[in-house]
Amino acid sequence: MLARARDRLMKGDNSVVPVRDATEPGSVTQLLAKLPQKEATPRESSLTTITSGDLGINISFIEKLQQTLQQDGGLVRVPTMNVSKATHDLVSEMRDLMDEVVKRAREDDGAAEDLNRLVRELCALFVILRPHVQKAQLQTSPHTCAIFLSDCLYLMHALLTLPYKYRKQLPSDKQHLSMFIDLVPQLRRLGENHFLAMLRYTQEQIVAALGPCDFAAGVAQDRTYIAAEAALGAALQDVKLAAQGMASALPRQLLQETAGLLLGVVCQDLRGKLFKLQHATPDEVSYLSTLLASALNGGRQALAAVGIQTPEDAEQPFSNSIEIPGWGILAIAANLLGSGFSCYMEKRTLLLKTLRKEEVLKLMHLSWRDDFLPPEEAWAALNSDE
């Protein structure tokens, strides 16, 4: 069995298998479905409320567990995602071994302990071999690293839920053979460390691609503007490809958060370059506004490629839990650059909520040259309660 598992893990095959809690053997969803669903009469329901609350009588452990699992939709549940076929087969063999552990333990056969160790050795094979086989791609390929992280999450879920299924089937002195929680922290660190290393590498690639997008180089010149536009397009393409690679495996929530962070690298880079500007001609301000609008449109397209929708008005908050650092600031800047004080007053609430004082003053300095209302006085007017 160890030899077969080794061969599968060493192949480096990235073919994937979809998993979700509703169909996963031994999942919380299936365990809850097997619990008795007794419907109490009104009298019984009232009595239960009194005895468990007013009289302080504890509800049984299984009822507490059932209530907790039903209230928390994500607790100990495997997220909907894709895992490698090699890891899916590995977990299947682990469950088969646990069936055999139960059988041998009931027969008081000493082999039950050996089979428990074999489950642990299968996990150790994954920890040692899988990163070794894929070490050339784990940092540079979002697709490969996303599958690896999903594999780690899947193994962690299997190890955490094995006691729910097998503990009660084992004799009381053998129930510890269903426990593997001590292996979970190592798998968690393994998946997180490789995934974070991949994200750092991808962020560095995005920043490098944005290098020629230099706002201080005089973007009104055709050659400079074309270079800036091409650099922006290359960076957004990196975001899109990374998001598409991760979408092949990651749970939806994690994909949204990670794609938002990568797009945030673009937004934060442009934000930094914009607010470092000391001066810009009216033509340059117009080109800057166009570049920022292109960044927002390209960001929408990158997210849409993996099914993440953005609001039509870039200044509006996202309807889902996605957060893109710097997105709102770029949206305001693209809208207000080159505008007069009246436009700033219209966006007063949003400005004060989203931007710092020095950033608002910088936008004003870049936007208008009128001496009748210096930016410092305009800022005071924005903050006035009148």
pLDDT computed for residue 45 by the predictor:
33
The lowest-confidence range among 1-15, 87-101, 179-193 is 1-15
Q: In angstroms, rounded to a whole number, what is the distance separating the alpha carbons of residues 103 and 115?
A: 11
Cα-flanking dihedrals φ and ψ of residue 195, to 5°? -70, -40
pLDDT computed for residue 21 by the predictor:
83
CA angle 160/162/166 to nearest 5° reads: 145
The encoded tokens of residue 210 equal 């944005």
The lowest-confidence range among 72-76, 93-97, 98-102 is 72-76
pLDDT band at 42 (very low <50, low <70, confident <90, very high): very low
pLDDT band at 99 (very low <50, low <70, confident <90, very high): very high
The per-residue pLDDT for range 168-198, each reduced to its tens digit, is 889 989 999 999 999 999 999 999 999 999 9
H or E stretch covering 18 = strand 16-19
| Residue 87 burial (C-beta neighbours within 10 Å; 0-12, 13-18, 19+) | buried
The encoded tokens of residue 115 equal 């089979």
Q: In angstroms, rounded to a whole number, what is the distance separating the alpha carbons of residues 297 and 331?
A: 10
Domain boundaries, the chain: 2-27+78-192, 218-383
Q: In angstroms, rounded to a whole number, what is the distance separating the alpha carbons of residues 135 and 138?
A: 5
| Mean pLDDT of all residues in 349-370 | 87
The answer for residues whose C-beta is within 8 angstroms of residue 127's C-beta and 6 or more apart is 186, 187, 190
Global confidence as pTM: 0.84
Cα-flanking dihedrals φ and ψ of residue 373, to 5°? -140, 90
- Please determine, for residue 319, whether its predicted confidence score (pLDDT) is greater than 50: yes
- Please determine, for residue 148, whether its predicted confidence score (pLDDT) is greater than 60: yes
Whose structure tokens read 């998993």?
19
The encoded tokens of residue 45 equal 């329901």
pLDDT computed for residue 217 by the predictor:
72
Q: What percent of the chain has pLDDT over 70?
A: 83
pLDDT band at 44 (very low <50, low <70, confident <90, very high): very low
What are the start-end ranges of the H helices in 134-251?
A: 135-138, 142-166, 184-209, 222-247
The DSSP 8-state label assigned to residue 108 in this structure reads T
Taking CA atoms, 236 is separated from 17, 213, 357, in Å, by: 29, 12, 29
The encoded tokens of residue 386 equal 């009148």
